[in-house]
């Protein structure tokens, strides 16, 4: 059960999953939820949740995010006396770039602590999410770490020329919404410190797009920074990933980092910041390099090491292709079954 948006069906079956969409207040964008839509979801979805629980006699509830869905999962679990597994995803309990982050608000910290302690099982997607939860909310229950699953994406490989890219260039690639937390400004600044043969591809869109464009112009590298926007298909994204040289995650904070799993699938060496769930996926010197946040010099330095050493690049590539298999759907599903 999730929130509705214009053009989407109220109900549909996706890959065998019944998806119910509930109309909320103030939802104006498909990709981003407004504060009003977040706050209204538990209220708007309660009646539908009660109806579904009466009808289907569920064995357990898996509540995704303590904010905003936590209150809804709590109420339904108490009304129907069924187990509630509360899954934490990072940004719902800690986002250093947002004034509205629950960890910065005393009232919200109290609410979140209550919901955590009322859950039957608490699951964090990464060790960092677990650490932040324990630091700011001090739950009395143990927190289990279960990473997000990953299903290998099948796609048709194409040449650089077919994507309008050049064979004599080295391409760094980043994927994620263009928001402050993703730290793309540090990736762009890093490009300005590198040889002119190195260019950068950034996939997605968001409110920081104009600021990033202006930064590239200011640094005189607008011809080396390619903001590709939202791509029409998942396949197209993987085609760009597959022909790139290094994946860079420059986030100020990341709850987990699904984009890292995608980079791992195609065997990209990784340069990532060292605060967040990414430290569970990227092991220093084994499949990539970890660098401090907001440090373009460190990003550039790590990139230079990889591009200058084919043996190291191949080592990271093979390790990532092998490691991504650990996040298979069956493995993660079994982890959840063990905690029910």
309 pLDDT above the threshold of 90: yes
Alpha carbons 179 and 209: distance in angstroms, whole number: 8
| Residues ≥6 apart with Cβ < 8 Å to 77 | 61, 83, 84, 118, 119, 120
pTM for this model (two decimals): 0.85
| Contact present, 40 and 26 (Cβ < 8 Å) | yes
pLDDT for the residue 325:
94
Angstrom CA distances, 272 to 97, 153, 165, stand at 18, 22, 24
Q: Say if 2-145 and 161-326 have the same CATH topology.
A: yes
- Sequence ranges of the domains in the chain: 2-145, 161-326
112 pLDDT above the threshold of 90: yes
Q: How many secondary structure helices (H) and strands (E) does the chain include?
A: 11, 13
Query: Is 200 strand, coil or helix?
Result: strand
171 forms bridges with which residues in the sheet? 199
Alpha carbons 276 and 336: distance in angstroms, whole number: 22
Convert the pLDDT of each residue in 15-73 to its tens digit: 899 999 999 998 887 777 778 988 899 999 999 999 999 999 999 999 999 988 999 99
pLDDT for the residue 32:
74
Convert the pLDDT of each residue in 138-197 to its tens digit: 999 999 999 999 999 999 999 999 999 999 999 999 999 999 999 999 999 999 999 999
User: Could you tell me if residue 306 is left (phi over 0), alpha (psi between -120 and 50 degrees) or otherwise beta?
Assistant: alpha
Q: Report the relative pairing of strands 17-22 and 11-14 from DSSP bridges.
A: antiparallel
Token look-up 């440090």 returns 295
* CATH number corresponding to 161-326: 3.40.50.2000
How high is the mean pLDDT of the chain? 94
85 pLDDT above the threshold of 80: yes
| Average pLDDT of the residues in 303-323 | 97
| Contact present, 60 and 84 (Cβ < 8 Å) | yes
Q: At 276, is the pLDDT very low, low, confident or very high (cuts 50, 70, 90)?
A: confident
Give the tokens for residue 176.
């994620």
CATH 1.20.120.450 fits 2-145, yes or no: no
């Amino acid at each position: 059960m999730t929130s509705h948006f214009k053009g989407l069906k109220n109900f549909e079956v996706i890959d065998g999953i019944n998806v119910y969409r509930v109309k909320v207040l103030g939802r104006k964008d498909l990709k981003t939820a407004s504060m009003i839509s977040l706050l209204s979801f538990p209220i708007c979805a309660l009646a539908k949740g009660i109806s579904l629980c009466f009808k289907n006699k569920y064995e357990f509830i898996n509540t995704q995010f303590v904010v905003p869905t936590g209150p809804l999962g709590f109420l339904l679990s108490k009304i129907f006396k069924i187990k509630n597994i509360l899954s934490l995803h990072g940004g719902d309990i800690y986002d250093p770039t947002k004034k509205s982050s629950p960890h910065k608000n005393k009232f919200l910290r109290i609410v979140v602590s209550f919901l955590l302690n009322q859950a039957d099982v608490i699951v964090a997607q990464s060790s960092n999410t677990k650490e932040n939860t324990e630091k700011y909310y001090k739950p009395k229950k143990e927190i289990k770490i279960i990473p997000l699953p990953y299903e290998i994406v099948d796609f048709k490989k194409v040449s650089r020329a077919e994507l309008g890219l050049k064979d004599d260039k080295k391409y760094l690639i980043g994927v994620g919404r263009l928001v402050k937390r993703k730290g793309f400004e540090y990736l762009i600044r890093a490009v300005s410190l590198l040889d002119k043969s190195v260019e950068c591809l950034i996939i997605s869109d968001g409110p920081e797009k104009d600021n990033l464009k202006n930064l590239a112009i200011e640094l005189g590298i607008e011809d080396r920074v390619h903001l590709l926007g939202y791509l029409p298909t998942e396949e197209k994204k993987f085609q760009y990933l597959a022909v790139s040289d290094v994946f860079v995650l420059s986030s100020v904070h990341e709850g987990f980092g699904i984009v890292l799993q995608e980079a791992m699938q195609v065997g990209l060496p990784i340069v990532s910041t060292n605060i967040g769930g990414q430290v569970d996926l990227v092991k220093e010197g084994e499949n990539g390099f970890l660098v401090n946040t907001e440090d373009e010099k460190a990003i550039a330095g790590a990139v230079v090491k990889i591009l200058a050493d084919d043996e190291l690049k191949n080592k990271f590539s093979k390790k990532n292709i092998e490691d991504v298999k650990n996040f298979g759907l069956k493995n993660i599903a079994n982890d959840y079954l063990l905690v029910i």
